[in-house]
């Protein structure tokens, strides 16, 4: 965090300073890292005691003090000999401090902010943008999927006076959450990737999902840029909601940044990117999965708007071989067995894209095995969407389906009820059972996809399989 006095912090996040029993004064400067995890506190840092669903961060304040915290942001005074800022809501205070840091850094005139949202692809697009922009100047982007009311402000607090680019991943599970993040750091460029059924249960339906994702562009100014997916009708409708100049990306000829001659293979995806003015380049993209081309196009569009030359963008993209751990991560190799671990998260769209990739990249003569777990947070759409994925697996000719966990059992039932399968689908309740089944049945040359929502925990199964066949 940039250097701020305790008094300045108390103004940014209105609260009472408690300095009793310490050597601090209101003019004491704090400039360490900010965290809500006491295990990550470093000397001179700030610990925000957040109340959670299952625990209360105030319990860990003494541990944060022992780690060298210079300030505790708390909702009640604690008997800990460290300066404390007592606020009404620690999460609101975290956001307020982040907003003040963004304001101060931005006042220097060089900081540009890119916001990224969408039902799928946020983390991949954020990582691609970071790879491009950090070659141009100091860049801050979220770790992993730090995209909510806690993670996004913590990312913003990593800004320094030298930062040129902030890539803010902005997720949501309810209407109003993206708007809240934008009030902390309004983007100069707002990207909307796709609107699908991810978290639809929490939103209360697809219409509410569209409304929530639209918050990315409704607050943009006429001097800002909205980078929108020309191939998604729900995203296209957002053009009427923004004052910003719209830049379209997609596969169709109407897009300002489009991809042609797309070729997917087991080493990634190749495509030619064509800009509106005719400039073009071949991209040998090492990230597995044709669906990631759209994420690359969004990153290209935003980078061009930030003044990065196309050859430099392509060079940066071609240096990326993995979007993020547990996202289309290639593992294995022994006996020509390929494990694709894509079990960090799952929605109907990303599940379908992963299955299509599995069918595209299988080894000649080899089998395809799909190890699938539950797609969570779909609400009333859960049953029909698991049915749809089961039918897609059958129609793509997946050689073997292994369904894991009670939440995904309907997927197994629908697959075997399709009638064309006899024994090609197996159901187990645990990842351990799935592991035992797979290591005894995987054959040389097989390509195996592991895919589920994070809550199903199959990413660790993917890791185990990758290590077994390494």
- Residue positions in the annotated binding site for ATP? 118-124
- How many other C-beta atoms are found inside a 10 Å radius of the C-beta of residue 144? 13
Q: Can you tell me the distance from the alpha carbon of 368 to that of 399, in angstroms, rounded to the nearest whole number?
A: 5
- CA distances (Å), 462 to each of 205, 371, 435, 457, 466, in order? 31, 9, 9, 9, 6
Residue in 376, 433, 372, 421 with CA at minimum distance from that of residue 395: 421
Q: What dihedral angle (degrees, nearest 10) is formed by the CA atoms of 40, 42, 46, 52?
A: 20
**Six-digit token string for 70:** 């210079």
């Amino acid at each position: 965090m940039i250097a701020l006095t305790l008094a300045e912090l108390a103004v940014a996040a209105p609260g009472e300073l408690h300095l009793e029993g310490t050597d601090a004064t209101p003019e004491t400067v704090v400039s360490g890292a900010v965290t809500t995890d006491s295990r990550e506190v470093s000397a001179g840092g700030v610990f925000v005691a957040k109340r959670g669903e299952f625990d209360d961060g105030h319990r860990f304040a003494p541990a944060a003090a022992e780690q060298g915290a210079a300030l505790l942001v708390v909702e009640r005074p604690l008997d800990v000999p460290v300066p404390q800022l007592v606020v009404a809501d620690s999460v609101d205070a975290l956001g307020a401090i982040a907003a003040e840091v963004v304001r101060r850094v931005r006042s220097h005139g060089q900081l540009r902010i890119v916001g990224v949202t969408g039902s799928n692809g946020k983390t991949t697009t954020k990582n691609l943008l970071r790879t491009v922009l950090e070659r141009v100047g100091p860049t801050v982007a979220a770790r992993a999927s730090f995209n909510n009311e806690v993670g996004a402000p913590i990312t913003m607090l990593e800004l320094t006076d030298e930062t040129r680019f902030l890539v803010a991943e902005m997720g949501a599970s309810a209407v109003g959450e993206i708007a809240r993040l934008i009030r902390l750091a309004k983007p100069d460029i707002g990207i909307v990737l796709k609107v699908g059924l991810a978290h639809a249960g929490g939103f209360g339906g697809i219409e509410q999902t569209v409304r929530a994702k639209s918050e990315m562009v409704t607050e943009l100014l006429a001097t800002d840029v909205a980078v929108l997916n020309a191939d998604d009708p729900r995203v296209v409708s957002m053009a009427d909601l923004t004052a910003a100049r719209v830049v379209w990306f997609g596969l169709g000829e109407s897009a300002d940044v489009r991809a042609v001659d797309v070729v997917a293979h087991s080493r990634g995806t190749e495509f030619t990117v064509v800009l509106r003015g005719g400039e073009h380049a071949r991209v040998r993209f090492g990230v597995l999965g044709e669906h990631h081309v759209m994420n690359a196009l969004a990153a290209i569009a935003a980078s061009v708007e930030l003044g990065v030359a196309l050859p430099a963008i392509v060079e940066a993209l071609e240096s990326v071989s993995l979007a993020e751990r547990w996202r289309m991560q290639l593992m294995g190799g022994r006996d020509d067995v390929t494990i694709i671990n894509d079990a960090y998260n799952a929605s109907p769209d990303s599940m379908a894209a992963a299955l299509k990739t599995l069918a595209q990249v299988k080894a000649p003569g080899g089998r395809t095995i799909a190890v699938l777990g539950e797609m969570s947070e779909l609400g009333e759409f859960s049953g029909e969407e698991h049915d749809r994925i089961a039918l897609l697996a059958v129609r793509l000719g997946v050689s073997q389906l292994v369904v894991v966990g009670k939440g995904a059992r309907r997927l197994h039932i629908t697959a075997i009820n399709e009638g064309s399968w006899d024994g090609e689908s197996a159901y187990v309740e645990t990842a351990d059972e799935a592991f035992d089944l797979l290591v005894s049945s995987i054959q040389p040359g097989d390509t195996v996809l592991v895919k589920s929502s994070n809550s199903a925990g199959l990413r660790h199964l993917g890791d185990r399989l990758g290590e077994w066949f390494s």
